[in-house]
Amino acid sequence: MSAYYSGQIHPKRKQDLFEICEAMGLPGLIDVASHSKNELEDLIRDNLLDNESVRQNPMFQGLWTSMQAMKKPPRHSLASSLVPTDDEVDELASPGPSSALAAASDLAVAAVATPVKRTTQALKRSASGRLALRASRSSQNLKAAADAAKKGSVKVVTGAQERLSKSWGLSTALIVAELGYVSWAALPWVHTKYGPHKWLTRSPTPAFNLPLPDITVLLHSTFTGPLLSWVALFLVLPLVLSILVAAPQSTGRGRSTRQKISPPSAVAFNLFRLATAVLVHVIFARDPDPVKWSFEHVKGYPAIQILGASVALFLSAYEDIRV
């Protein structure tokens, strides 16, 4: 059932004013918090003053009756305001041409000034209302964008934490870091000369040397050969050994029992990888070949590999204990 609104507009609460605006069907409404109380009052008054159908609606007749504008005659158009009343006609017909002309001029000025003043006030109120609505919408859009960016960053960080908290994810990250360090150390730096160049100006541009890494070395057999040896010795061999020491899983019951290969354990993989690194770099260590390049030529590589395998082993064992 539709509600009937009455009484003065100013004493009403902000929530009641927002409900009146919704009942009038005013466009641009967002929520109660996005509009001020004065803005809602101005929107209701402008709608009552501008729309005769709203004034005649029984739902809003009580508001229109209580408004101060109801004590005055309704706004007339410019043409109707220019038509004089009977008293004004009698005053113009009275003797005294100067007084008649003065009265006629005052009547014309008042007839023109009144609708212009009302129109100016209505335009100011509507413009301020639109600016306030646009400002509130833009602030809400900025807030929504900030919330979306915050949620996205939190999602990325939590996803990285979840991956790194797993033993295999952490082991993979350490292996990639180790390989990246070796690859970066193996890259030679080539000084490329730029300039001088002749432009439209009289003096040429200055010349300078820019050092750039030569990544084509990573595709040369000098690097790919030691890389394949590193993969076979420190990745494939520990992975195979960790699969062999894993206890098989049994599925089914009774005669239908079947043996299933268990997945390799991250603890066993990192343990065999650490043992292989200790054997190669400590127990059976040898000087690098001065002719053939290998990973041992990289400064600090044996210590970095042993340290990475030790950290991965410790964190993998800690995760198994915690679970």
Hey, what long-range contacts does 187-192 have (CB within 8 A, 24 or more apart)?
187/213, 187/214, 187/215, 187/217, 187/218, 188/213, 188/214, 188/217, 189/213, 189/214, 190/214
| Per-residue confidence (pLDDT) for residue 310, from 0 to 100 | 93
Please classify residue 162 by burial: count the beta carbons closer than 10 Å to its beta carbon, then call 0-12 exposed, 13-18 middle and 19+ buried: exposed
| Per-residue confidence (pLDDT) for residue 7, from 0 to 100 | 81
Task: Report the predicted TM-score, pTM, of the whole model to 2 decimal places.
Answer: 0.45
| Per-residue confidence (pLDDT) for residue 238, from 0 to 100 | 92
| Per-residue confidence (pLDDT) for residue 10, from 0 to 100 | 81
Q: By the 8 A CB rule, do 164 and 173 touch?
A: yes
Any alpha helices (H) in the chain, and if so which ranges? 14-24, 37-50, 52-56, 61-66, 78-81, 86-93, 97-165, 167-186, 221-231, 237-245, 266-278, 301-322
Give me the residues of the chain with pLDDT under 50, please.
1, 69, 74-83, 89, 92-100, 109
| Per-residue confidence (pLDDT) for residue 297, from 0 to 100 | 83
| Per-residue confidence (pLDDT) for residue 37, from 0 to 100 | 86
| Per-residue confidence (pLDDT) for residue 175, from 0 to 100 | 92
What is the maximal distance between C-alpha atoms in the chain? 133
| Per-residue confidence (pLDDT) for residue 152, from 0 to 100 | 78
| Per-residue confidence (pLDDT) for residue 44, from 0 to 100 | 86
